[in-house]
Structure 1
C-alpha cells in the first residue's frame, strides 16, 4: 500500500502507527471476515469486544488518539484510518469506526473536563460504544438531510431537561453505552450526553439495511420524557447545530478514509482473481475489457486518495472545511462506487458471493453515497455557495 501512504507532512510516529495498523488488520483481523458472528445488522458485540481486545494487545486500539490525549493531524489520521479500513472489521477492532470516531472527535473538542472523564475516556479505551441521535423519521416530517426540520423537543424542568421525540437510522443504538441526543429548545438546537441504555429511550426496531458493517445496525428509536441533568448538555442551549458542524466535516472525511481502504483491498482481491483466472485461452487480465476496468480502478483510487488528503490539509489549517468536505465526500464516494462495482464485475459470479469481502464492500459503498449527506444534497449545497460567491464578486 506504499502508493497510498503519503509521507509529506506526516510524522515518523504517525507513519509507524499506520504500518502497525496495516499489519494488524491484514494478519490478525482479516481472518475474522468469515466469523459467523457477523450478522445482517453488523458484527455482534461479542465479536467486537474480542477484536478490540486483540487491538489493545497489539497496541493499535484508538491509534489516532495519542497517549497524552492529543489527536493526530487530519493528514496523519488519514494515513492511519485508510489502513484500518482494509477490512470491514478493521475500524471496529481499532476503534476507528463510525459513529464512535466522530463522536470522540466532537467530545474532545467541546465537552467539559467532567464530561470527557465520564463519557469520552471509556470510549477511547474501547469500553463503550456510542450513538448519535439526530435523524428523524420521514413519516413524521422530521429532520433528515435538513436538520432545521427537527421535531424532537427539550424543555427545562427544574435542574433537568426533558426530551421527547423519535429518531431513525441511529447507528449503533442497540448496545451503545453513550448517547449524544439532539433536540430543539426555544433557543434552538441542543446536544445532550446520556447514559445508555435508558428506559426512556426505546428501540422500536433495528432496520434491515443494505450495509452490515456497524455493530448494532441502524435503529428507529422513541424518546419519551427522557430526563437529563442540565450539567449533561454540551455547551449552551441553541448551540447544537454549531457543535454538529464541528463533528460533521471530519466525520465525512473519516468515512472517505475508511472506505478508501476497503476499496484498496477489494481491488487487490479482484486483481489477484483476474491474474489467476483463465478464460478463452488466456488470463482474464489479458482481456482488454477486464484489464481496462482494473486500470480505471487505479485512476479512481489515486484521485480518491488525493481528494482525501487535500481535504485533510484544509481541516488541519483550522478551517471549518464545510464546502471542501462536501466536495471530498461526493468525489470520493462516487469514485469508490465505481471501483467497487468494477471489482464485482471483474470477478463475475464470484464477485456477488460472500466468499470474499468484495460483495460486502459494494453494499457498504452504496450506502456511503447516502450516509453523511447524499451526493445530491452536497451538490445542492455547493451550488448555493457558487451563487453566494458570484454575488459577492458582483458587489466587489
Structure 2
C-alpha cells in the first residue's frame, strides 16, 4: 500500500532521535496520563522574539487567544505582548487576569448586552461589528455613566490572497462594510465615545509573504482613506494577522522577515499606531498532541493503530475543522523519531465514527501497544476547538512545559 505524505515536523523537534520538550522526554511528560497536549513555552518565546526582530518598532503585537486559551499559556504570553484580543466574555475574563483592560480588545458578531456591559465596565475596547451593536454599546455606556472604548471592525473590499480562511472581499457577518464606516466613526465621536480606531482582518493561515505584504499595504491604504473620509485620525489600526504555519505536505514557512521589511515602507502613509494580532503563528508549532497506542488490528490488508485520543480532542488533525481535503498533519512515533519507516498504518482514535482518523495511511516505524504517537503543529485550535464531550470519553490533559 502506498503511503500518504505527512506535513513537516517543526524545526524545534525535527532532528531529535527521541522527542524531548524542555529537557524531558515525551514519555516522561506522558507518564501522568494520555492523551496529552504538550505546549513548549520556549518555542512560543522564540516566536515572539522573531516577530519583534522582524517587524518595525511601531508594530505592536497582540495575542489572539482563540488560538489557545489555556490560562497558564495566556499568563506566560501576556508579559511578552502588547495586547490580547478576545472573542467572547469567557475569553475576556481569561485575558483580564494577567493583562490590563486597556490592552484587551473584544471582537466577534452577536455580542450580547451583558457582554457589552461587562466590557464597558472593565474598560475593554469593543471592536464593533455593526451599527446596531454600536448603538447598543453607546446606550449601555450612557446608562452606566462610563465612556465606552469603541473601535470599528471593517469588512474590507479585498481578501487575503491564498489564505486558508478568507475574511474580506465579500458579504460577511464580520465587521461593517467599508463604505459605511466613516459615517459610523463620526457618530461615535459625536456621541462622546472613546474611539479607538480600526480593526481590519482580511484572512488567516497564509503562507505566502507576497500575499501578506499585498494585503497589509491594501489595509493601510484603506485605513488612511477611511480616516480621511471620517475626518478623524484613528488612535490604532489593527492590521489583523493571517500569518500561517506549515501543516501539510508541501507547505513552506511564511517569510516573516520579508513581511516586516515591506511593512516598514508602508507605515508612514498614516500617522498612527499599528498592531498585528497573531494566534496560530505564535503557538501552533509549539504544541504537540500525544496519544498512546492501545491496540493494533488488521482489516482487509490495512493496518490500524488505535490510540487513546482522537477527534474529540483534536478535531483539526482529523480534517474536520476548516479543511476541504483531508491531509495528514506531521506525525511520528515519539521515541523513534529518526527510525526508518517499516509499515504503512492508519492511526485512529477510540470513537465510534469513521471520522476519527488522526493519520491516514502514513509510513512509520513499527508501532507496538504502549508506544506514543506524536502529532505536531497542534498548539492552536486543538482542545478548545474540539468536541470533548462527544461520546463521554475523558477530557484531554494540557501541560505547559518550560515555565
Structure 2-normalised TM-score? 0.27
Larger relative contact order (Cα-Cα within 8 Å, sequence gap ≥ 6): 2
Q: Which has the larger radius of gyration?
A: 2
- The structure with more strand, counted as a fraction of residues: 2
- The structure with more helix, counted as a fraction of residues: 1
